[in-house]
């Protein structure tokens, strides 16, 4: 069964765009958080987790680097030209957080907001029932409600930044949520979510790639795993954000690469290293790739 699943995913991999730093080379070419996958660079397919893409970025400092980007929301492929830079004003040469991932069955790996209780943390964060989809944090993809539940229950009473797609505005935005059990209602988010076939993106929003509403935020990079489809009344969501004013990545993004199985990419070259225990203290082996030095 594992072999058949691997065969089905063959050729449907790339570097998934998670966080995009404001005014970065990545933002200037319009990369869209979560929906975009970088599948080729300068004509070279990026179907294997290795150092190929990293080395190409290093070799293209201040020079145009053609990228092929697949957007799984619109199911379209487009070409962009990005210019890696160490002097654009932020972290990394691209200003984007990426992880090697598959877009096989990505349509079923979405968490939809169904109900929001007035006065709840979700309501205060501006989450909109029916129209909002919780995509994940800049370190983890919400591929099912179980991952969402794990994130929130492990890190209560901490402000957290969620990437949220809204079908009415056709935008991916960042919503800051404070999960807590002391808001006066049930659960720590006060929201009901759905997942699976009945909660796929509607056909009405498929004609565009969406756009990212980019704001500065503190991020880490971690593993993301997924599971099957089901609907649960999880009134919780997300992961502890370390102090945005003095955390791991102050007001910006580092380029991060992990494997779909949680394993690390190959190491090598200046500025490539694995933090002890992973960036989240063992929540998945992560490589932070800071190409600015």
Q: Which residue has the higher pLDDT, 291 or 50?
A: 50
- Do the two domains 2-104+247-289 and 107-212 of this chain adopt the same fold? yes
pLDDT in tens, 53-65: 999 999 999 999 9
107-212 sits in which CATH class?
Answer: mainly beta
Task: Return the HEC string of 42-68.
Answer: CCEECCCCCCHHHHHHHCCCCCCEEEE
Domain map (residue ranges) of the chain = 2-104+247-289, 107-212
Instruction: Specify the pLDDT at position 228.
Output: 30
Contact 129, 115 (CB under 8 A): yes
The answer, yes or no, to whether residue 125 has pLDDT greater than 60, is yes
What CATH number does the domain located at 2-104+247-289 have? 2.30.42.10
**What does the mean pLDDT of the chain come to?**
73
Between 78-87, 97-106, 168-177, the lowest mean confidence (pLDDT) is in 97-106
φ/ψ bin of 279: left (φ > 0), alpha (ψ from -120 to 50), beta (otherwise): alpha
The answer, yes or no, to whether residue 279 has pLDDT greater than 60, is no
Using alpha carbons, select from 41, 162, 24 the residue that is nearest to residue 92.
24
Instruction: Specify the pLDDT at position 60.
Output: 95
Instruction: Specify the pLDDT at position 215.
Output: 58
């Amino acid at each position: 069964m594992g072999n058949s699943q691997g065969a089905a995913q063959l050729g449907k991999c790339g570097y998934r765009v998670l966080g995009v730093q404001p005014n970065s080379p990545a933002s200037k070419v319009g990369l869209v958080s979560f929906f975009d996958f970088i599948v080729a660079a300068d004509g070279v397919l990026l179907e294997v987790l290795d150092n190929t893409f990293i080395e190409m970025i290093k070799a293209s400092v201040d020079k145009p680097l053609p990228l092929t980007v697949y957007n799984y929301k619109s199911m379209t492929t487009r070409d962009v030209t990005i210019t890696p830079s160490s002097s654009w004003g932020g972290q990394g040469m691209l200003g984007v957080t990426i992880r090697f991932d598959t877009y096989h069955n990505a349509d079923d790996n979405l968490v939809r907001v169904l109900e929001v209780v007035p006065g709840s943390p979700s309501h205060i964060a501006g989450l909109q029932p029916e129209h909002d989809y919780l995509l994940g944090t800049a370190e983890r993809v919400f591929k099912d409600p179980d991952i969402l539940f794990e994130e929130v229950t492990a890190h209560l009473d901490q402000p957290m930044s969620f990437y949220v797609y809204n079908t009415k505005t056709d935008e991916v935005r960042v919503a800051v949520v404070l999960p807590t059990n002391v808001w006066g209602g049930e659960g720590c988010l006060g929201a009901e979510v759905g997942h699976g076939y009945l909660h796929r993106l509607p056909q009405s929003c498929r004609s565009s790639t969406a756009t990212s509403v980019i704001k500065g935020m503190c991020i880490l990079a971690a593993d993301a795993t997924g599971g099957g489809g089901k609907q649960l009344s999880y009134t919780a969501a997300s992961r502890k954000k370390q102090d945005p004013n003095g955390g791991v990545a102050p007001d910006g993004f580092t380029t991060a690469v992990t494997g779909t199985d949680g394993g690390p990419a190959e190491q090598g070259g200046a500025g490539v290293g694995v933090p002890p225990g992973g960036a989240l203290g063992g929540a998945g082996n992560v490589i932070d790739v800071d190409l600015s030095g």
